[in-house]
Amino acid sequence: MNRIAHDTPGESNPLRALTLDVLRRRTSMKWRTYPPDVLPLWVAEMDVPLAEPVVRAVGDALALGDTGYPFGTAYAEALAAFAEKRWGWDGLAVERTAIVPDVMLGVVEMLRLVGGPGDPVVVNTPVYPPFFQFVEHMDRPVLQAPLGADHRIDLDVLEETFRQAVAGGRRAAYLLCSPQNPTGTVHTAAELAAVAALADRYGVRVVADEIHAPLTAAGVDFVPYLSVPGGEHGLSLMSASKAWNLAGLKAALAIAGPAAAADLARMPEEAGHGASHIGVIAHTAALRDATGWLDALIAGLDDNRRLLADLLAAQLPGLAHRPGQATYLAWIDCRGLGLDGDPAEVFLERGRVALNSGIPFGEGGAGHVRLNLAASPEVIEEAVRRMAAAVHP
């Protein structure tokens, strides 16, 4: 089930709430990396006000001086209740969770539990660039298993990559991005079960980054990896940070399948010390009390996906674009434009639009850009107009 009842009937689209003038007062990475004449549609920050239940919970904590260290299981309990209502999954056991500072640091800790230096980590490319950065910093080689032309997992390619990964008795891991960033693909239950079967056959441990799980489009069902047959051996990372725009309030949860509980229990206590108590409070409030805000956001993102597809077809027909099923990111193939060099640089220099270059996303990324859809329709219209002017001055 993808939708749950609104907290406030008729909640308005948060993507329409803020003007550019207001947004440019922000001091975060999205709004300070480039000069003011650049329209920033790159890093994963949303142009939205925070949900009122989150603002209220954080404000109450600050008024009370409740700014110490995180404690308790409220976050895990809120996520478990959200997962059961949203995805029909009642298998998120609070006792098999642990607070971590954020998803990527949680990924690092999970990979340490199932392997060591020199053990390969398999990823599906193109994929979120920090997968490469964090894994390589751990002295772990990254093996790329490219997605198919349809942006879905190619099981034959994945199996061959698993075979290479475990050669010589190495302890391999598979870092699964679900939903997939940057393509927006939502893996099906059948696909995930096939992945679990392959992982079991080759002795590969699966660590799933499921940070975008709450952000599926209307009519699309997210399936937690730990819920599929064979998924009980897996480890997952989840967080409210992406769906409620809480990246600056650090907190996430590591979750173990029933057969991986002993692995999670070996995670050192200090691994969770970097989480913010205020972050935990904010994420808990979001999951418990701000689902109506989330539904309004998802409806706005669905509208923006359609808008972007129409605008690109009309103004930049040389592009190839398949709207994603989740996230607020659009993956655009610019190779048909015949541009010299990285299209992201062309759009920035000639059009004053900041997008993510596809190159850091690994194999299959060159010639692509990633565009952040979490903006007002007017900003998306202006961005495409500028992109078209950059190509056809």
Write the CA distances from 330 to 62, 253, 304, 368, integer angstroms.
36, 26, 10, 10
Higher pLDDT, 97 or 3: 97
Mean pLDDT, rounded, for 265-282: 95
Mean pLDDT, rounded, for 299-304: 98
Half-sphere exposure for 347 (CA within 13 Å, toward CB) = 29
Note the pLDDT of residue 4: 31
pLDDT tens profile 347-362: 999 999 999 999 999 9
Note the pLDDT of residue 10: 57
DSSP 7: S
pLDDT tens profile 21-60: 999 999 999 999 999 999 999 999 999 999 999 999 999 9
Domains and CATH numbers, the chain: 14-51+291-391 (3.90.1150.10), 55-289 (3.40.640.10)
DSSP 370: E
Q: How confident is the model at residue 67 (pLDDT cuts 50, 70, 90)?
A: very high
The torsion angle over the Cα atoms of residues 117, 104, 222 and 180, rounded to 10 degrees, is: -80
Per the CB < 8 A criterion, the answer to whether 50 and 66 are in contact is no
22: exposed, middle or buried (Cβ count in 10 Å: 0-12, 13-18, 19+): exposed
Phi (first) and psi of residue 216, to 5 degrees: -90, 150
C-alpha angle 130/242/72, rounded to 5°? 100
> Residue 252: is its pLDDT beyond 80?
yes
* For the chain, percent of residues with pLDDT exceeding 70: 97
360: exposed, middle or buried (Cβ count in 10 Å: 0-12, 13-18, 19+): middle
Phi (first) and psi of residue 239, to 5 degrees: -165, 155
Cβ neighbours around 117 below 10 Å, total: 9
Quote the mean pLDDT of the chain. Answer: 96
Note the pLDDT of residue 219: 94
